[in-house]
């Protein structure tokens, strides 16, 4: 029987993780910053195998893996220890699951925010848009296990019968246009409007940021809120506002200044005091253009922006910027499809939120790898494949673990070089039909709770 103490096993695991998952985070989120976050939140913990740092690294490795089970995550920890001649007597996952539950949600939110900010600080002037940092915002949905707690916190759609659906949460995510990294997250129930989530994310904007979004976010009060923070916005005009070519001061081809007036009724989500504090008018800039690419549903686009300086922010640059808004759709697809965040695994609302933060942290880890590879080998980081980066990273981890520290860093440099070998083809204007070729299995949809269906089977 091994007599190795728990602190020694913790040291071994920390060393293993620092040579694999920790390599991209050495400058982005070093261990010292995690310890600092623990101290700031006054989090105290006992000396055990799954301390906060080991638990966090194990959780990260779990969401990055194709097999996201807790058994697979614990098996990885056992393998790391076995390679150093340390034996663990039990493969039970309860210790790890309890350790995940002990991780405070505030800690994961703080670590995720620090990692995102650290990556954002690496952005140089050449990656800015007209000298400004651009943030992109959008909303989406995630599903989770059908438990009583999850249903109470994030109810399933009312169109589904009880027991026949899954709890669904609405999320709003703020991304960096320069790095593709996730900056902030807001979570609420499914029937929450995107703009309500956005109002919880404005506080994460920095002075001089430009917020980019679709027409769901284009509201009078929100444009006021964004400008009051020292930021600007570029949104597609909401469909409820009609475009008139005769109104406004023309300042360029398909470009004009327009005065918007305060709504007569208080919008949903604003208090009477907030509505009363809104100014009576707002000067905005409206840019309208046409899309003639075959296959595109949208044919006419009207943009609303608070960027009123036509010399610093030319019409064409703003149009190109809005075209880049599609990147947020791709980023959400990476999170939900590539990494598997679309269907969460945790069975309580607090663990669901923790799982979301860890997914975003893992996503930023890959973005940090892509950024470092692109900067090192003079390739635009956003032109690299996130799925390809994930494949290379997973395949290099065994080699990183099995060598000395000096050799490990040599292999890591090769990893960065390999990542830039798989750029994403640039296909502007490509359109694909929205159809499915792969046929689903011919099973009917569940229209009754599982317990009732089981009783029907037993009665046959």
11-30 per-position pLDDT tens digit: 888 888 877 777 777 767 77
Structural domain includes residue 394: no
Q: Which helix (H) or strand (E) holds 407?
A: helix 405-419
Answer whether residue 136 is part of any domain.
no
pLDDT at 290 over 90: no
What mean pLDDT value characterizes the chain?
A: 88
Q: Which band of pLDDT confidence, cut at 50, 70 and 90, is reported for residue 2?
A: very low
Number of domains in the chain: 2
**Predicted confidence (pLDDT) at residue 227 exceeds the cutoff of 90:** yes
Distance CA 70, CA 68 (A): 7
For residue 208, give the nearest of 335, 67, 69, 306 by alpha carbon. 306
Tell whether 317 is covered by a domain. yes
Domain boundary among 66, 86, 104: 104
| Domain that residue 262 falls in | 215-324
Which of 54, 82, 104 is the last residue in one of the domains?
104
Q: Model pTM?
A: 0.92
Q: Average the pLDDT over 92-120 and give the result.
A: 91
Alpha helix locations (H) across 175-325? 194-199, 220-228, 272-276, 315-323
Q: Where are the beta strands (DSSP E) in 291-422?
A: 300-305
Q: Is 66 inside any structural domain?
A: yes
Structural domain includes residue 421: no
**Does residue 187 register a pLDDT over 80?**
yes
Give pLDDT, residue 19: 75
The tokens describing 348, both together, are: 């309580």
- Reply yes or no on whether the pLDDT at 1 is more than 70: no
What confidence tens digit (pLDDT) does each residue in 42-85 have?
A: 877 777 888 888 899 899 999 999 999 999 999 988 888 888 88
Q: How confident is the model over 327-363, as pLDDT tens digits?
A: 899 999 999 999 999 999 999 999 999 999 999 999 9
User: What whole-number distance in Å separates Cα of residue 146 and Cα of residue 165?
Assistant: 8
Residue 171 domain-assigned (yes or no): no
Per-residue confidence (pLDDT) for residue 310, from 0 to 100: 92
Q: Which residue has the tokens 């098996």?
A: 75
Residue 3 pLDDT grade (very low, low, confident, very high; cuts 50, 70, 90)? very low
What is the edge-to-edge ordering of all strands in the sheet holding 134-143?
A: 182-189, 168-176, 134-143, 210-213, 232-236, 300-305, 281-290, 255-261, 249-252
Which pLDDT score, from 0 to 100, does residue 246 have?
Answer: 62
Q: Is residue 433 one of the residues assigned to a domain?
A: no
Contact 354, 105 (CB under 8 A): yes
Please report, rounded to a whole number, the percentage of residues in the chain having pLDDT higher than 70.
95
Last residue of one domain, picked from the residues 273, 301, 324: 324
Within-domain flag for 271: yes
Per DSSP, the residues of 57-100 read HHHHHHHHSSS--HHHHHHHHHHHHHTTT---S---SHHHHHHH
């Amino acid at each position: 029987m091994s007599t190795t103490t728990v602190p020694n096993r913790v040291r071994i695991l920390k060393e293993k993780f620092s040579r694999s998952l920790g390599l991209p985070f050495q400058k982005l989120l070093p261990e010292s910053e995690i310890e600092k976050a623990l101290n700031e939140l006054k989090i105290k913990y006992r000396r055990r195998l799954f301390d906060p740092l080991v638990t966090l690294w194990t959780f990260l490795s779990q969401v990055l893996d194709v097999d996201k089970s807790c058994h697979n995550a614990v098996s990885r920890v056992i393998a790391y220890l076995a390679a150093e001649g340390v034996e663990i007597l039990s493969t039970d996952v309860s210790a790890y699951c309890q350790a995940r539950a002990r991780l405070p949600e505030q800690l994961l939110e703080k670590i995720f925010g620090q990692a995102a900010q650290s990556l954002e600080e690496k952005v140089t002037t050449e990656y800015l848009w007209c000298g400004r940092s651009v943030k992109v915002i959008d909303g989406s949905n995630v599903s989770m296990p059908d438990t009583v707690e999850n249903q109470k916190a994030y109810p399933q759609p009312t169109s589904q019968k009880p027991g026949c659906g899954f709890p669904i949460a609405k999320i709003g995510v703020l991304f960096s246009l320069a790095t593709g990294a996730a900056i902030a997250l807001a979570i609420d129930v499914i029937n929450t409007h995107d703009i309500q989530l956005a109002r919880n994310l404005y506080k994460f904007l920095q002075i001089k940021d430009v917020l980019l979004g679709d027409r769901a976010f284009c509201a009078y009060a929100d444009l006021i809120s964004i400008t009051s923070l020292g930021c600007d916005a570029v949104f597609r005009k909401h469909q409820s506002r009609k475009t008139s070519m005769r109104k406004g001061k023309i300042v360029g081809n398909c470009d004009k200044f327009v005065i918007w007036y305060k709504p007569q009724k208080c919008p949903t989500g604003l208090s009477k005091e907030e509505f009363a504090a809104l100014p009576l008018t707002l000067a905005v800039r409206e840019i309208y253009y046409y899309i003639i690419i075959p296959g595109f549903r949208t044919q006419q686009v009207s943009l609303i922006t608070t960027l009123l300086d036509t010399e610093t922010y030319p019409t064409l640059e703003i149009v190109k910027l809005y075209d880049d808004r599609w990147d947020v759709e791709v980023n959400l697809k990476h999170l939900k499809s590539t990494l598997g965040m679309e269907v969460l695994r945790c069975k309580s609302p607090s663990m669901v939120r923790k799982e979301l933060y860890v997914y975003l942290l893992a996503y930023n880890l890959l973005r940090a790898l892509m950024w470092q590879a692109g900067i090192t080998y003079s390739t635009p980081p956003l032109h690299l494949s996130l799925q390809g980066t994930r494949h290379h990273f997973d395949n290099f981890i065994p080699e990183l673990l099995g060598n000395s520290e000096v050799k490990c860093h040599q292999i890591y440099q090769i990893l960065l070089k390999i990542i830039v070998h798989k750029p994403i083809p640039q296909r502007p204007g490509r359109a694909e039909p929205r159809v499915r070729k792969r046929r689903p299995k011919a099973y009917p949809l569940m229209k009754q709770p599982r317990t009732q269906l089981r009783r029907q089977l037993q009665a046959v």
